Amino acid sequence: MKLMQSNLDVNPAFEKWRSSTGREKEWSLQELIPKMERFATAICWQRIPDHTDDFGALVNGIVWRVIKKAESFKSKSRFSTWFYKIAVNECNDYLRNYKERYETSLEEEMPTASQGVDARIDLIDLLSRLEGKDHLLFRMVAEGEDWKTIGEKLGISGDSVQRKWRRLKRRLRDAV
């Protein structure tokens, strides 16, 4: 996905907002905000495609942070570059926090020994029902093959393999 498509270009709207005064500044901000939301959403899709449920809050946080800091923008680079950097940092913070929350919740929900045995039996049953590319993907990952090699064997890109793997792990985790 190419981010700098015309409908995602926030630079003209920002320059209009920056150069306006009074009532005109409010109107141009009303024009700028939807463009920033679309741009932030595109960045989120690019950085964290497996977390679409949280995009609304994340996009709002990115736009809020950019508006809050917009007066300090020094024009040493394009506004979209500056915006992109803020958005990527917010996505990285989100992922870091998500990982901490997820790891903490796993530690709190450790199964008892009997629950662990039941879960392993369920997982073995579930793995035995995997078919086609899912079965092949699971086997190749278990054997330690890298994403690029797996992608070549499945006829997809390494990034697509990683996405498929995350989805498969989520399906397996939800099923147990």
Is the whole-model pTM more than 0.85?
Answer: no
Looking at the chain, which residues constitute the CATH 1.10.10 domain(s)? Answer: 112-175
Task: Quote the pLDDT of residue 1.
Answer: 42
The mean pLDDT value for 56-63 works out to: 87
Closest listed residue to residue 11, CA positions, set 78, 63, 76, 108: 78
Q: φ and ψ at 5, to 5 degrees?
A: -75, 160
pLDDT surpassing 80 at residue 5: no
Distances in Å between the Cα of 60 and the Cα atoms of 10, 109, 123, 131, 174 are: 16, 31, 38, 40, 29
Q: What are the tokens at 94?
A: 């989100």
CB contact burial 4-17 (16+ within 10 A = b; e otherwise): eeeebbbeebbebb
Confidence of residue 3 (pLDDT cuts 50, 70, 90): very low
The fold adopted by the segment(s) 6-106 is: Rna Polymerase Sigma Factor; Chain: A (1.10.1740)
Number of other residues whose CB lies within 10 A of the CB of residue 94: 20
CATH 1.10.10 matches 112-175: yes
Closest listed residue to residue 118, CA positions, set 106, 126, 108: 126
* Distance (Å, whole) CA 169 – CA 162: 10
How high is the mean pLDDT of the chain?
Answer: 76
62 burial (CB, 10 Å; 0-12 / 13-18 / 19+) is buried
- For residues 35 and 71, the answer to whether their CB atoms sit within 8 Å is no
Q: What is the DSSP letter of 77?
A: S
pLDDT surpassing 70 at residue 121: no
CA dihedral 93, 90, 95, 40 (to 10 degrees): 180
Looking at the chain, which residues constitute the CATH 1.10.1740.10 domain(s)? Answer: 6-106
